[in-house]
Amino acid sequence: MASVDDQAVRDAVQKAVDVELLRVAYGGAFLSRPVFLDHAQQEGLGSDLAGIFRLLTSLPGLVADGDLARYCELVGMTPSQADAVRRTAGGAPVPLGRADLYHDGEGFRLLEFNISSALGGFENAEINRALRDVPAIAEFAERERLRHVDTLGEIVRVMLDSHAAPYWGDRPLVALVDTPSSFTGLERRLGFMAELLGAYGIDAVACHTGQIEARDGRLYAGDRPVDIVYRFFIIEDLLEEQGELELIDPILRCHENGGVTVFAPLDTEMYGNKRALALLGDERVRQSLSDEDRALVDRFVPWTRRVHRGEVEVGGAYVDLETYCVENRADLVLKPSLLHGGMGFAAGWLMDETEWRAALDDAMRSPFVVQRRVAPGPESFTDGDVTGPSVLNWGVFMAGDRYAGAIVRGVADPDVGVVSMGSGARVGGCFHGPDPSGAL
């Protein structure tokens, strides 16, 4: 799509996405064009993510005989976090998540799988709608029969499927709930989400855990009973020293008593945990997988292991993990199991040996994983008057067992540790090609 890489189209893109919702969400930092998936790529991603989700949600049974407390300990959760997980668990795992992927030139590789309701990028369809106001993009999309998925609509579908009880009123009331400290920065964005949900027949209110009240077995936002708590607070918020446990206890109590549905339940956090991804490479787990599932993990998931003192499997042989990490610093990253947004991330190629050894020593004392670096293949974008390559982090959504849209973040520096808004990334929408069979 060479015609969208010129400055005129870039200016048109910037004008199209200059709406308050997207400025609040992304600060006005947008790529000069959208990105594209063909139908086979879209279908392949949906199938691969559904397969990995199935494997991750089988892990408590495989490695802990179904004992949630034991499994939570294995993936690095505290006893209080494990208790919160237990209190909302019980049903089938909610199939909702956003995968962070790089394309290495041959295929997509899974860096992390955020299985949760607290997912950034839910507004991505609004980017695509804005992009269709750019004539060059609209013409190209029409000619190639390109479409996009309504990610928020897919999230709503999964959310309503998870709520089995009758609504307290004529329409479901959904409370978009975060912690008081995080809500300060997210209030406007969640307010926009509440407005968007109206188009799906949902009343919604944005609030924090200190602004809702439990009484008579129900949870209230003001004077209205809440049907669904859409959870934006995450497992790392539930540490004793952060003071959030007391605030979420009424929510968990109402969920346990059937007075409200917590979406998504906190047990999703034990499947989206980075140590869970590392367990897929554990030889004891691999022995229980089918040949097809082992092939999926080998193709789609880069080598990822729990950081610990002792031996680890690399290429079929067992070596000392610490020695291996020191000798292969330039090809490895360290990631905390539970934190998000690149916090605690250490890229070996950006550190000297002394810095890396210190980071590795710290990781040995906390729940961390080590992962082999994936080198993303660059794509070309216009940035101001300069046209050049950018590396992309693909945020691909899964809802149910299918692909549910994507948002990308791109930076010009191929050696950047984390492709994120904090590292200067620009954001773009994603269109996908038609089914060659002609099916809708």
Q: What is the 3-state secondary structure (H, E, C) of 257-323?
A: CCCCEEECCCCHHHHCCHHHHHHCCCHHHHCCCCHHHHHHHHHHCCCEEECCCCEEEECCEEEEHHH
Mean pLDDT for the stretch of residues 169-175:
94
Per the CB < 8 A criterion, the answer to whether 12 and 76 are in contact is no
In sequence order, which residues have a C-beta less than 8 Å from that of residue 28 and are 6 or more positions away? 14, 17, 18, 22
Provide the pLDDT for residue 31: 86
Report the mean per-residue pLDDT for the chain.
89
Q: What percent of the chain has pLDDT over 90?
A: 68
Question: Nearest CA to 369 among 5, 75, 146, 16?
Answer: 75
Band (353; pLDDT cuts 50, 70, 90): very high
Token pair listed for 105: 């030139």
- State whether CATH 3.30.70 applies to domain 304-372: no
Which is more confidently placed, 351 or 422?
Answer: 351
Cα separation, 400 vs 20, in Å, equals: 30
Per the CB < 8 A criterion, the answer to whether 337 and 369 are in contact is yes
Per the CB < 8 A criterion, the answer to whether 266 and 118 are in contact is no
Mean pLDDT for the stretch of residues 51-66:
96
Cα separation, 274 vs 370, in Å, equals: 10
Which is more confidently placed, 388 or 59?
Answer: 59
Per the CB < 8 A criterion, the answer to whether 173 and 225 are in contact is yes
Provide the pLDDT for residue 242: 59
β-pair type (173-178, 228-231)? parallel
Which amino acid is present at 246?
A: E
Provide the pLDDT for residue 1: 45
Provide the pLDDT for residue 231: 96
Cα separation, 381 vs 6, in Å, equals: 9
Mean pLDDT for the stretch of residues 413-419:
71
Write down the residue that tokens 């199209």 correspond to.
16
Mean pLDDT for the stretch of residues 80-100:
93
Ranges of each domain in the chain: 304-372
Q: Does 386 score more than 50 pLDDT? A: no
| Predicted confidence (pLDDT) per residue in 193-249, tens digit | 999 999 999 999 999 999 999 998 899 999 999 999 999 999 888 775 556 888 899
Per the CB < 8 A criterion, the answer to whether 278 and 76 are in contact is no
Provide the pLDDT for residue 24: 84
Band (5; pLDDT cuts 50, 70, 90): very low
| Predicted confidence (pLDDT) per residue in 263-308, tens digit | 999 999 999 999 999 999 988 899 999 999 999 999 999 999 999 9
| Predicted confidence (pLDDT) per residue in 106-135, tens digit | 999 999 999 999 999 999 999 999 888 888
Mean pLDDT for the stretch of residues 43-66:
96
